[in-house]
Amino acid sequence: MINPRPPAAALTWAAAIAGPHASARTVRRLAGGTHAATHLLETADPAGEMVLRRYPPGDRAAAREARVLTSTGWTAGHRGSWTPTPTRNASANRRP
């Protein structure tokens, strides 16, 4: 089982994708999923949203997902994507 809250190091790593001065403003667990912990991470400086998914140790799902995203043209590959959000309701993980 995965700890319900992402570790501080994971939040720092994810916020760094948004920019060198970004920080995690809020993190909220999203419902659904069968074995991965999925969270909505909102950043500050700059403001944005991203989805952070964590899999159990040894799970190959993350590698499979990275291959699928890369093959379908997502340019960020396994890092995921970050979308600046001018409004609270803007979509995270949007294709560039």
In the chain, where are the structural domains located?
Answer: 8-84
* Overall average pLDDT of the 48-71 stretch: 84
Higher pLDDT, 96 or 15: 15
Q: Give 28's pLDDT tier (boundaries 50, 70, 90).
A: very high
Burial of 66 (0-12, 13-18, 19+ CB in 10 A): middle
| pLDDT above 50 (res 13) | yes
pLDDT above 70 covers a percentage of the chain that reads 74
How far apart CA 69 and CA 91 sit, in angstroms, is: 17
